[in-house]
Homo-oligomer: A and B are copies of this chain.
Amino acid sequence: MDPRTGKPRERVAAEATAEEVDRAVRAAHGSREALADRAVRAAFLRAAAGLLEEARDRVIETADAETALGTTRLSGELARTTAQLRSFADVVDEGSFLDVRIDLPDPGAVPPRPDLRRWKVPLGVVAVYAAGNFPLAFSVPGGDTASALAAGCPVVVKAHPGHPATSALCASLLRRAAAGAGLPEDVVVLVHGFDAGVALIRHPLVAAAGFTGSVRGGRALFDAAAARPVPIPFHGELGSLNPVVITPAAAEERAKEIGAGLAGSTTLGAGQFCTKPGLVLAPRGEVGDRFLDALAEGVAATGPAVMLDHRIRDAYVAGVAERAALAGVAAPVVPGARDGHAVGAGVLTVDAARLTGDGHRLLLEECFGPVTVVARYTDREEAAAVLGLLPGNLTATLHTTGTDGDPDPDAAPLLAALVPLAGRVLVNGWPTGVAVAAAQHHGGPYPATTSTATSVGATAIERWLRPVTYQSTPGHLLPPELRDGNPLGLPRR
């Protein structure tokens, strides 16, 4: 379906049958020994980045036609994707992800300690469920795939139905890079179709899964993963409200700047980011009004945007209408349907006191798209009471002011209330834009993620590994990584 016209496009792929899923998983499983060589893995990831760059114009054109995300955003996303592939190649080379720990024997310990040498080995075939809102960076060549391959796990990707042609193109590039690096092409296999995704999570040879998507879909797959005769780890990123708290002192100091910044973060990419700020606690009174005016001005100035597909558009239009209809909810900028297949961004406001009642819980659920809800609070206690009602989040943001010598009195207590809610807390910034870095954490309490792991950054590789300890094993039977003298020069403890 063309998101800009709503017209059906040519059919690019068939949905995989259960037999085809079985063949895909077995093919991937058969390739796992070849991935054991870390140098080959790293070369493969770099080659994949290179081929994606070579095919850049075609990749972006294909993705734009399927997602309407635009060439600027998609160029950035491709650069992020190739940088991510290369960063995981660096992680493979550096080797600390193997978490090598060696305990030499100690017969005097209680109980006596033999020679113990631990490292981490790949889990096996990883099922990756691609996201709709990032056709590259969280899809076929994205972080789940890159981190699983870096760990030494073959990948079967379940394509997102929103961009099947982009998925097929990227899979073919990854498979070509694998062949070029001397690996079987089947280290990456692509399947399409809803039923294929269900068959995949149940397949006995699938050892773990990564998912980015909705709470409903992710929870169904999580449940299926847990219900298997042999349960498997399911690392799902499901949904996040991404609360923002603005202290009175921050609003006093820079109401306009915060309002403009929030408008940009909320409407970026038509609000189709998992880290879009969806609930903002802003002070009542004049400083809060100034902030709200700047926010409304910024959002109103945003042109209509085409969302990823008609289903997401319809959900957004219905979601904002349902929220706007709640008692006491105002809409300084009315979100909803616009001409053609576009939608308009918007701002909703409500008294914070309403949120602690039962009737307004909907405002504490994510609404995917370019809208944010501003809740006006009277004092820190009221703000903290609202925060206490929130589910888990990927991010939580505090806007404050002050310094060590002259601190904002609300900053420390509100930050302390935000940390339990999220995997990443930001001060005086915006949550959209997730850096790929060693210290990144993109995850958070449920439903933000279904595990304590991150899907972005170097430690995302930890999801696809399990420890194995060798006890009293002669050197010639140990992996070189664990031998005396550290022949591979790895970081070891």
Chain A positions within 8 Å of B, measured between CB atoms, are 76, 79-80, 83, 101-103, 109-114, 116-118, 121, 123, 222-223, 226-227, 230-231, 233, 391-392, 400, 403-404, 407, 411-412, 415, 419, 422-429, 433-441, 443, 445-447, 450-452, 454, 459, 465-477, 493
Contacts and interface: CB of A to CB of B under 8 A. Distances in A.
Interface centre among A79, A439, A451 (most CB of B within 10 A): A439
A390 to B, nearest CB: 12
B440 A118 contact: yes
A414 to B, nearest CB: 10
Contact of A452 (B110, B227, B467): B467
Contact of A427 (B116, B415, B472, B493): B472
A412 B121 contact: no
* Number of copies of this protein chain within its complex: 2
19 contacts: A79-B110, A80-B110, A83-B109, A83-B110, A101-B459, A111-B434, A230-B447, A233-B451, A400-B477, A404-B474, A404-B475, A404-B476, A415-B473, A424-B470, A438-B493, A441-B467, A441-B468, A452-B467, A454-B467
Contacts of A435: 103, 109, 111-114, 116
A472 B419 contact: no
Nearest to A405: B476
Nearest to A443: B467
Contact of A437 (B116, B415, B422, B439): B116
Sort A-B residue pairs by CB-CB distance and give the 7 closest, nearest first: A226-B226, A404-B476, A116-B439, A441-B469, A452-B466, A101-B439, A103-B439
A231 B423 contact: no
Given A80-B111, A103-B437, A440-B103, A419 B121 contact: yes
Contacts of A391: 230
Contacts of A424: 468-471
Given A226-B223, A436-B111, A471-B429, A466 B423 contact: yes
A467 B459 contact: yes
Contacts of A404: 474-476
A419 to B, nearest CB: 6
Nearest to A412: B477
A477 B109 CA distance: 42
A415 B79 CA distance: 43
Nearest to A401: B474
A469 B451 contact: no
Given A407-B476, A411-B477, A476-B404, A439 B469 contact: yes
A94 to B, nearest CB: 11
A28 to B, nearest CB: 16
Contacts of A110: 76, 79-80, 83
A447 B222 CA distance: 18
A260 B400 CA distance: 70
A437 B226 contact: no
B468 A422 contact: yes
Contacts of A111: 76, 80, 433-436
Given A80-B110, A222-B231, A439 B117 contact: yes
Contacts of A493: 438
Contact of A102 (B114, B226, B400, B439): B439
A249 to B, nearest CB: 13
Contact of A438 (B101, B407, B474): B101
Contacts of A114: 429, 435
A426 B472 contact: yes
Contact of A425 (B112, B434, B459, B468): B468
A411 B23 CA distance: 32
B446 A465 contact: no
A471 B427 contact: yes
Given A110-B80, A474-B427, A233 B438 contact: no
A46 to B, nearest CB: 15
